[in-house]
């Protein structure tokens, strides 16, 4: 990775395919369960949850050290 992004931000959300498009899972309990699983998956990759929000972020600055030209 040789670029200067700084951080990646995402909002994990359980989706389902309906015909040819994606939408949020309609069952609230299933939506909540699947979204928590997604958050756990992203945490395992190094993402951190933004306090008081649904978003998660990953700091890429440490990946840049030593790549400066």
In a domain, 24, yes or no: yes
In a domain, 2, yes or no: no
Q: What is the pLDDT of residue 69?
A: 47
Structural domain harbouring 14:
7-64
pLDDT tens-digit readout, 8-66: 888 888 999 989 999 999 899 999 999 899 999 999 988 998 888 888 888 877 554 45
Number of domains in the chain: 1
Is this prediction's pTM over 0.75?
A: no
Cβ(25)–Cβ(52) below 8 Å: no
In a domain, 28, yes or no: yes
In a domain, 18, yes or no: yes
In a domain, 35, yes or no: yes
CB atoms within 10 A of CB 59: 13
């Amino acid at each position: 990775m040789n670029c200067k992004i700084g951080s990646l931000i995402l909002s994990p959300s359980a989706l389902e395919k309906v015909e040819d498009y994606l939408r949020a899972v309609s069952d609230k309990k299933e939506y909540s369960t699947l979204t928590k699983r997604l958050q756990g998956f992203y945490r395992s990759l190094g993402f951190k949850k933004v306090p008081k929000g649904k978003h998660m972020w990953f700091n890429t600055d440490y990946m840049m050290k030593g790549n400066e030209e």
